[in-house]
C-alpha cells in the first residue's frame, strides 16, 4: 500500500514487479514515488492528475489473463502460421508489392503491401465497404520508415493478424485482394 508523498523502493529486478508497482501507483495517483529498479532510480514516476482510464486498466488486465491462459508460445505459433499463409498468397497476386522480410518467423503478424496503380486509401475503402475486411492505409505514424523503404508520401496498406483471426479470414482476404487487383487491372 502507498500513501501520498511517500517513497516506494523496489529491490526486485523483475518486469512483473515494475508492472505491479506501476499499476498500484496509477491507481493511487497522484503519488510522489521513487522506484529503484535494476540499479536505476526513476523519481516521481507517477505524479498525475485527472481521471484514470479505468476501462483501459480493466481491459489490459483481462487481455493479460487471456494471453497467459492461452499461452504466449501458442499465440506466436498461430501468428506465424497465419502470417506465412498471407505472405504466400500475396506473392501469387500480380501487381502486389510486399514490404518486410517476407518470412513469417522473422516478423510480426503485420504485413504492409502496395497494389499497382491503386491508391492505398481507395483499396482500404473497397476492402471495408465491399468486403468487410479491415486494413489501414497510409504512413502508420512512421514517415521516416516509409522514406527508407521508398513508400513516402503514400505509405502502404497494412494488415494485422491477431489471435482471433482464422485461416478462413486469411483466405477471404486474399480472395478480396485478388478481385480488387483484377478490377484494377482492367483498362
Neighbours of 82 (CB within 10 A): 20
The answer to whether 176 and 134 have CB atoms below 8 angstroms apart is no
Specify whether the CB–CB gap between 114 and 96 falls below 8 A. yes
Residue 141 designated active-site: yes
Which helix (H) or strand (E) is 112 found in, with range? strand 110-115
Q: Which of 46, 124, 141, 176 is catalytic?
A: 141
Say how far apart CA 155 and CA 137 lie, in whole Å: 7
Question: Which cell numbers in the block locate residue 133?
Answer: 475486411
Q: Find cell 492461452 and name the residue.
A: 70
How many other C-beta atoms lie within 10 A of the C-beta of residue 55? 8
Measuring CA to CA, which residue among 39, 21, 18, 41 is closest to residue 31? 21
CB 86 within 8 Å of CB 174: yes
- So which residues are the catalytic ones? 141
Amino acid at each position: 500500500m502507498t500513501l501520498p508523498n511517500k517513497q516506494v523502493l523496489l529491490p526486485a529486478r523483475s518486469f512483473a514487479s515494475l508492472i505491479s508497482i506501476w499499476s498500484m501507483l496509477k491507481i493511487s495517483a497522484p503519488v510522489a514515488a521513487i522506484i529503484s529498479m535494476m540499479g536505476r532510480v526513476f523519481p516521481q514516476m507517477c505524479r498525475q492528475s485527472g481521471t484514470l482510464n479505468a476501462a483501459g486498466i480493466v481491459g489490459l488486465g483481462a487481455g493479460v489473463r487471456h494471453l497467459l491462459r492461452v499461452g504466449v508460445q501458442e499465440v506466436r505459433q498461430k501468428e506465424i502460421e497465419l502470417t506465412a499463409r498471407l505472405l504466400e498468397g500475396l506473392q501469387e497476386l500480380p501487381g502486389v508489392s510486399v514490404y518486410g522480410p517476407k518470412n513469417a518467423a522473422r516478423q510480426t503478424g503485420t504485413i504492409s503491401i502496395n497494389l499497382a496503380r491503386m491508391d492505398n486509401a481507395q483499396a482500404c475503402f473497397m476492402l471495408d465497404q465491399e468486403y468487410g475486411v479491415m486494413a489501414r492505409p497510409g504512413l502508420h505514424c512512421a514517415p521516416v520508415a516509409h522514406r527508407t523503404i521508398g513508400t513516402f508520401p503514400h505509405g502502404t496498406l497494412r494488415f494485422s493478424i491477431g489471435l482471433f483471426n482464422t485461416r478462413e479470414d486469411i483466405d477471404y482476404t486474399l480472395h478480396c485482394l485478388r478481385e480488387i487487383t483484377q478490377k484494377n487491372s482492367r483498362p
